[in-house]
Amino acid sequence: MKYICNPLNIGYKYQFNKTFEGKICVSREAADPSMILFQGRYFLFPSMSCGFWHSLDLVEWVFQPLSKIPVYDYAPDVRAVGEYLYFCASNHEQGVFFRTKNPFSGEFEKIEGDFPFWDPDLFVDDDGRFYFYWGSSTTEPIYGIELDSRTMKPLGKRIELFWPSPDRMGFERSGENHVPERTPEEKQAILDQIQHQPLTPEMRQTITSYVMGLPYIEGAWMTKHEGRYYLQYGTPGSGANIYADGVYVSEFPLGPFRAAENNPYSYMPGGFSSGAGHGSTMEDRYGNWWHVSTSRICQNHNFERRIGLWPAGWDRDGGLFCNQRFGDWPRPVRQGKMDPWKDPEWMLISYRKNATASSFAEGRIPANVTDENIRTVWTAASNRPGEWIEVDLGHEYDIRAVQINFADDGLSLSLPEGEELHGALHQERWIDPVTQNTRWTLEASRNAREYYVIKDKSGTATDLPHDLVVLEKGLKARYLRLRVESLPYHQAACVSGLRVFGLGGGNPPDPATEVSVLRTGELDIDIRWVGKGIGYLVTWGYAPDKLYHSYEVFSTSAHLGGLVKGQTTYFRVDSFNESGITKGTVLQE
């Protein structure tokens, strides 16, 4: 059996971004993923990667560089159309289309576009007609149009399909947990400052929208299922934990569209790696559906992002769903038909466990590797080979998997000599095409005296910042020690999560009790409860048997701000510990 554990374990490329102050900020990024099945192989095209990844099983991915298409244009879109793979990406001046029969050759046929577009999506209907969707704005809608299949020129005029509706769709509201990040006075002070900055009109509008907290609707992706058209879109922005994908439905490719009852479709505000917006939906070769989208880190740079992959599908009423319950825990990927709602096989056993290290920089303490927060890190005090971080699980466990999450912490580098910055979304950047080295050894012990190696990658030239070590048959140990030999650019050892999964050997927790609900607005609910679990999963939906949304928390309360106006909400609080999950009772608000 093979397993995935989000963030997806691929070699995210380093970006050298020029800041407003003229400095260089260095961090990894991949976002806005388009994933398709083409010629028996899965292809993954994310933004800012200078190429694509391909896989035969959705688990092990191989990178293929590209240079003859606009790799510095955001939100690449790919579609399989007969024997061709079609490609396009965002361009505010004039969009261009490309196609190839062999993406590995790097040779693409260029087809001149006829109009500018941002966050594009090409869809080919069953009758062979080409349709196109695009948009990324706080003030404009998602557009649609039919294209000539030979020339890619418009047939008719563009149609406004739907607009932002944050007063009705709570999940479209910006801010962490949909709570505004700034007071009106703070917003005005920032806007006054940028008035004197030498910015392009487009950049000024982008910054203004960000400061004001206006929601974006962007990242269109069309999927047809049993005669209906499901137009998905990203919202409200990738910098917060509530980046999501909503969905509109129609009986026709260009509408009229209505908001689906199950909204948002993709939404992961809690857990280790939060956010799940601007993605794509694909059927694999076995009839399973998958959704891939963007999660956030956004510590070193506002576009420091990762990619997550989750099971998806349709219910008996034609409702599109995505299962993100425990969405960043190990999940088996069978090469056959799968149950998209199957609970995790292994439980999280490392949360808040004691951690020690060979050294640590100020504020980058060892405890950060077990707090289930991808945005906090342990950083060693030096970049010497052999710096280590160790987790004491408290007693012996049956360990089944370890996810090692490397991070970057304020990298200060200069642009390599001879390289130049490229424009990308009103920014200037250079993407390092070189595969970096990430070398480490993972050891285990029962007594903190005798250690043995579980996995040795100290001599392996790989660059997987979210590596997963699977021990499917189990390993008895109490201590896990990660020795870091080298990280990219000779930086000090830096880890955001040393996450351990296995079997606790005890009983699952008692169910949560005294569950109370306080409606704090038309789009908001506060939930509180009493329980003795390590953590909880709040699930909710518009019907008692359609609790498709989830929020993993490590407290006894949660704020749900992604609700739909006028829609009745049903919810349930599940408790979990190191030995299992106990489902609660479905309640109506």
* Tens digits of residue pLDDT in 110-139: 999 889 999 999 999 999 999 999 999 999
Measure Cα distances from 346 to 303, 320, 366 in Å: 32, 27, 24
Of 333, 363, 394, the residue that ends a domain is: 333
Distance between CA atoms of 517 and 515, rounded to whole angstroms? 7
Q: pLDDT, tens digit, for every residue of 557-579?
A: 999 999 999 999 999 999 999 99
pLDDT(393) > 80: yes
Are 225 and 141 part of one and the same domain? yes
Give burial (CB, 10 Å; 0-12/13-18/19+) of 545.
exposed
Are 469 and 323 part of one and the same domain? no
Are 131 and 232 part of one and the same domain? yes
Lowest-confidence segment of 16-30, 41-55, 464-478, 551-565 by average pLDDT: 16-30
Domain for residue 255, yes or no?
yes
Are 439 and 461 part of one and the same domain? yes
CB 276 within 8 A of CB 294: yes
Relative orientation angle of helices 201-212 and 184-194, to the nearest 10 degrees = 170
Distance between CA atoms of 340 and 323, rounded to whole angstroms? 7
Are 297 and 369 part of one and the same domain? no
Are 322 and 360 part of one and the same domain? no
Q: What is the CATH number of the domain that holds 400?
A: 2.60.120.260
Mean per-residue pLDDT over the chain, rounded: 95
Of 333, 357, 378, the residue that ends a domain is: 333
Distance between CA atoms of 6 and 273, rounded to whole angstroms? 7
Distance between CA atoms of 336 and 408, rounded to whole angstroms? 37
Distance between CA atoms of 221 and 271, rounded to whole angstroms? 25
Domain for residue 195, yes or no?
no
CB 517 within 8 A of CB 416: no
Give burial (CB, 10 Å; 0-12/13-18/19+) of 584.
buried
Higher pLDDT, 179 or 297: 297
Q: What is the CATH number of the domain that holds 306?
A: 2.115.10.20
Domain for residue 186, yes or no?
no
Q: What is the CATH number of the domain that holds 548?
A: 2.60.40.10
Q: pLDDT, tens digit, for every residue of 517-542?
A: 999 999 999 999 999 999 999 999 99
Are 163 and 262 part of one and the same domain? yes
Distance between CA atoms of 243 and 532, rounded to whole angstroms? 30
* The two three-digit tokens of residue 260, written as one number: 């689906």
pLDDT(10) > 80: yes
3-state secondary structure (DSSP) of residue 185: helix
* The two three-digit tokens of residue 120, written as one number: 């594009």
Q: pLDDT, tens digit, for every residue of 434-478?
A: 889 999 999 999 999 999 999 999 998 788 999 999 998 999 999
3-state secondary structure (DSSP) of residue 116: coil
Give one DSSP letter per residue of 233-294, joined into a string. EEES-TTSTT-EEEEEEESSTT---EE-SS--SEE--SSSS---EEEEEEE-TTS-EEEEEE
Which pLDDT does position 209 carry in this prediction?
73
Which pLDDT does position 55 carry in this prediction?
98
Q: What is the mean pLDDT of residues 366-388?
A: 98
Q: What is the mean pLDDT of residues 151-159?
A: 96
Domain for residue 203, yes or no?
no
Pick from 561, 585, 588, 587: which is nearest to 575 by CA? Answer: 585
Distance between CA atoms of 508 and 329, rounded to whole angstroms? 17
> What are the contacts of 162-166 at 24+ separation with CB within 8 A?
162/217, 162/231, 162/248, 162/257, 162/259, 163/217, 164/138, 164/214, 164/215, 164/216, 164/217, 164/235, 165/259, 166/215, 166/236
Are 287 and 354 part of one and the same domain? no
Number of domains in the chain: 3
* The two three-digit tokens of residue 512, written as one number: 């949560």
pTM comes to: 0.95
CB 577 within 8 A of CB 531: no
CB neighbour burial string for 214-240, b if at least 16 within 10 angstroms, e if fewer: bbbbbbbbbbeeeeebbbbbbbbbbbb
Task: Give 21's contacts (C-beta < 8 A, 6+ positions apart).
Answer: none
Q: In angstroms, how far apart are the furthest CA atoms of the chain?
A: 74
pLDDT(52) > 80: yes
Q: pLDDT, tens digit, for every residue of 221-237?
A: 999 999 999 999 999 99
Q: What is the mean pLDDT of residues 248-255?
A: 98
Domain for residue 166, yes or no?
yes
CB 580 within 8 A of CB 347: yes
Q: pLDDT, tens digit, for every residue of 157-206?
A: 999 999 999 999 999 999 999 988 777 777 777 777 777 777 666 667 77
pLDDT-based confidence at residue 93 (cuts at 50, 70, 90):
confident
Query: How far does CA 410 lie from the centroid of its chain?
Result: 22
Measure Cα distances from 473 to 391, 446, 456, 500, 582 in Å: 21, 17, 18, 15, 25
Enclosing H/E stretch for 427: strand 427-431
Distance between CA atoms of 435 and 11, rounded to whole angstroms? 8
Token pair 């409200």 is found at: 236
Which pLDDT does position 202 carry in this prediction?
67
Domain for residue 58, yes or no?
yes
| 3-state DSSP percent of the chain in helix, strand and coil, to 5 | 5, 45, 45
Of 305, 333, 361, the residue that ends a domain is: 333
Are 48 and 125 part of one and the same domain? yes
* The two three-digit tokens of residue 10, written as one number: 């691929």
Pick from 487, 432, 379, 438: which is nearest to 24 by CA? Answer: 432
Q: Which amino acid is at 108?
A: F
Distance between CA atoms of 579 and 192, rounded to whole angstroms? 54
Are 390 and 246 part of one and the same domain? no
Distance between CA atoms of 6 and 13, rounded to whole angstroms? 17
**How many residues are present in the chain?**
589
Are 531 and 434 part of one and the same domain? no
Which pLDDT does position 249 carry in this prediction?
98
Domain for residue 442, yes or no?
yes
Q: What is the mean pLDDT of residues 343-365?
A: 97
Which pLDDT does position 184 carry in this prediction?
76
Sign of the Cα pseudo-torsion (167, 172, 173, 178, in order):
positive
Are 304 and 426 part of one and the same domain? no
Domain for residue 490, yes or no?
yes
Host domain of residue 402:
347-503
* The two three-digit tokens of residue 343, written as one number: 């609970």
